[in-house]
Chains A and B, each alone.
Chain A
Amino acid sequence: MKRAIANTLREVSFYGAVAFFVVLTAFPFYWMLITSLKSNPDLYNVTNIPFWFNEAPTLEHFEYLFEQTQFARWLLNSLIIGLCVVVITLLAALPAGYSLARMTGRTGEALGIGIFLTYLVPPTLLFLPLSRIVASLGLQNSMWSLVLVYPTFTIPFCTWLLMGFFKAMPVEIEEAAIVDGCSLFGAFVRMVLPLSLPAILTAVIFTFTLTLQEFVYALTFISSSAQKPITLGVATDLVRGDIFFWGEIMAGALIASIPVAIAYNLFLDRFISGITGGAVK
C-alpha cells in the first residue's frame, strides 16, 4: 500500500514536470495563436479572461495582414532570398565538403575545422564593415545584400555538415566508378552526388531555415519596407508610431514560425550530428 502511494507520487511528479516543460515552451506559441484570432475589443480588455475567447474568434487580423500590409511581399522576399542562398551555398559547399573529406588529407582536416570556426564569427562583429561593403556595391537597402552575405554562415555550416556525410560514405563506390572509366570529377558528379540526396536535402532545409532565422544583418542593411524579409518585417514594421498591432504581429509571427518548426523537427538529428561534428558515433 505504502509502495503504491510512493509510486503514484513519483508518476504524478514526473508528469507534472513534463507538463511544466510543455507549458513553458508552448505557451508563447499558444499566445501567438490566440492573440491572432481574437477581435480587438476582446484583446484590449483587461477584465476578460485572456486565455480563451470572450467574443467570437475572427480572422480579421490575417485579412488585414495580407491586404493592408506588405506581408505577402515579405513572404516572397524571404522565399527569393532563401532560394538564392540555397543555390550559392550548394554550389560552394558540395564540392568543398567532398574535397575536404576525400582529397586533401591532413590539410583538409585542418582547413575543414578552420571553415567551421568561421561559422562562429558573429554577425555583430562583421556588420559594420559588411554594411560599408554592401553600400559600396550599391546594394544598401536591397534584399540582394542578404543574398550576398548570408552564404558567409551557410557555406561554413553546410561544408561541415556535408564533409561529415561524405566521410561516412564508402570509398569503394567512387573507386568502382573510376575503374569503370569515370574521371575523378565524373565519379563525384555521377556516383557520389546522386547517392548524397538525403544529405543535400538536409543542407537545403537548414540553409533555408538559417536564412529565415537571421535577424541582425537584415536589420542592419535594410530599412525600406518593400525589401524586408519576413522575420524583420513582422518584428519591426507592424508598429505604427507607438501603437503595436498585436493581433497582426502575432498572426505574422505564427505564419512565419510554422515552416521552420516543422523543418527542425524533421531534421533535428542530422542537425545535431552536424553541429557536434560527429562527436556522437
Chain B
Amino acid sequence: MVEIVEPIATKPASRFRFLLDQRSVLGAVLVTPAILYVLLLVGVPFLLALYYSVSAYTIYDPSWRFVGLANFRQIIHNPAFLETLGNTFLFTFASQLLGLILGKFGALLLLRPFPGRKLVRAIIILPWAVPIALASVAWEWMFDSLYSVINWTMIALGIIDRSQAPNWLGNPHLAMLCVIVVNAWRFFPFAIVIFLAGITAVPQDIIDAATVDGAGFWRRNYQIIMPMILPIVAIGLIFGIVFTFTDLSVVYLLTNGGPIGATSVLGFQGFQVGIVSGDVSHGAAISLFMLPVLFVVVIAMLRFIRRREI
C-alpha cells in the first residue's frame, strides 16, 4: 500500500513555541518530571523521617508533638540496640570482606580463557541476579534444623555425628555466620563482575611494559593493576556497603533477627519497632543511625566519580 505523505501543514505557531526551542528551557522542562518524582517521594519522606525521629508519633497516636532528642536518648540506653549496632557493622564488614576475597579470586580464574567460560560466568552471576528473598528462602531450607543438606553431607562424610549436628539458625554465633555467608554469597558475583570490568579495561601495553621491566605476577597484580582499577572497585564496594548496611531481607527471612536478637541489624530493628510495633518515632530514630555511614559513603562516591573525570 502506498501512502502519500501529507504535506506538512504550517501549524499556527503556538505562543510559547519559541520558548521550547531554547535549549535551556526545553532542558529544564524535560528534566522536571524526574526531579519532581524524586523530590516528592524521596526528599519529602526523608524530611518526614527526620521529623518523626524527634516526635512522639505512633500509629495509634499520630500526634506531631515535638519531643526533642528523647527518642535517641532512650534508644542509646537500650543494650539491645547497642548489640544491633554492633551486629550491623560486623555483618557489613565481614560479608563485604568475604565477598571481595571471593570476588578477586573468582575474577582471576575467569580472566583465563578456558572451554565453557561463558557458561561458568553465566552460572556465577546467578546469586546476584536472582531476587535475594527467594535465594534466602532456599538457604533457609539448606540450613533447616532437621533436614539440612549441609548437616547430612557432614554426617555422611563422618565429620560429625547426628547427635551433635549443628542447628545453624538456632545458635547465636552460627546464625550470624549464616547471614554473613549468605550475604557474601549474594555479593561476590557482583565483585567478580566489577573486578573483571576493571581488569579488562587496563591497557594491555601497560601490563606488557611492566612484564618486560621484570614485574612478576604478584607485582603486576598489586602494583600495576590494583591501583588502576581502584576507582571502579571502590564504586562497586560502595554499592555493596550501602546495600548490606541497610539490608533487611536476608536477616528477616533467614533468622528473623534471632535467636534472641543475635542477628538483629539496624534495618531489621527499624522495621520491627516502626512497622510491626507501630512505634513510628522510635523506628525512624533507629533507621537514622544509618545516616552517618551513608554520608561518609556518599562523599567517597563523589570523590571517586570526580577522579574518574580527570
Contact = CB atoms under 8 A, between A and B. Distances in A.
Contacts of A98: 30
A159 B35 CA distance: 10
B298 interface: yes
A212 interface: yes
Nearest to B189: A25
Contacts of B284: 128-129
A120 interface: yes
B301 interface: yes
B85 interface: no
B70 to A, nearest CB: 18
A75 interface: no
B147 interface: yes
A87 B21 CA distance: 26
Interface in B214-266: 231-232, 235-236, 238-239, 242-243, 245-249, 252-253, 266
Interface in A13-38: 14-15, 17-18, 21-22, 24-26, 28-29, 31-32, 35
A276 interface: yes
Given A43-B147, A96-B34, A28 B139 contact: yes
Contacts of A264: 125, 128-129
Contacts of B120: 18, 21-22
A124 B186 CA distance: 19
B46 A129 contact: yes
B141 interface: yes
A126 B290 contact: no
Contacts of B138: 28-29, 31-32, 250, 253
Given A124-B267, A220-B271, A246-B141, A184 B131 contact: no
B201 A108 contact: no
**Chief secondary structure at chain B's binding surface:** helix
Contacts of B48: 129, 132-133
Most chain A CB inside 10 Å of its own CB: which residue of B133, B232, B288, B301: B133
Given A185-B26, A253-B138, A268-B125, A128 B49 contact: yes
A26 to B, nearest CB: 5
Interface string B281-292: 001100110110
A121 B243 CA distance: 9
A232 B131 CA distance: 10
A152 B27 contact: no
A100 B248 CA distance: 33
Interface residues of A, number: 95
A175 B192 CA distance: 41
B287 A125 contact: yes
Contacts of B206: none
A159 B280 CA distance: 32
A70 B45 CA distance: 32
Given A152-B41, A261-B126, A124 B290 contact: yes
Given A31-B141, A92-B37, A184-B20, A44 B246 contact: no
B134 A265 contact: no
Contact of A220 (B134, B147, B189, B275): B275
B99 interface: no
Contact of A103 (B26, B197, B198, B245): B26
B147 A18 contact: no
A139 interface: no
Given A103-B23, A117-B298, A215 B232 contact: no
26 contacts: A17-B105, A32-B138, A92-B34, A104-B24, A111-B35, A113-B302, A115-B38, A118-B42, A122-B242, A122-B290, A126-B46, A128-B284, A133-B41, A133-B44, A152-B38, A184-B20, A216-B248, A231-B131, A231-B133, A249-B137, A257-B134, A261-B125, A263-B129, A264-B125, A265-B125, A277-B235
Given A25-B189, A117-B298, 5 more contacts: A104-B28, A104-B31, A235-B253, A276-B197, A279-B235
Interface of A: 14-15, 17-18, 21-22, 24-26, 28-29, 31-32, 35, 43-44, 46, 50-51, 88, 91-93, 95-96, 98-100, 102-104, 108, 111, 113, 115, 117-118, 120-133, 148-149, 151-152, 155-156, 159, 183-185, 188, 209, 212-213, 215-216, 219-220, 231-232, 234-235, 244, 246, 249-250, 253, 256-257, 260-261, 263-265, 268, 272-273, 275-281
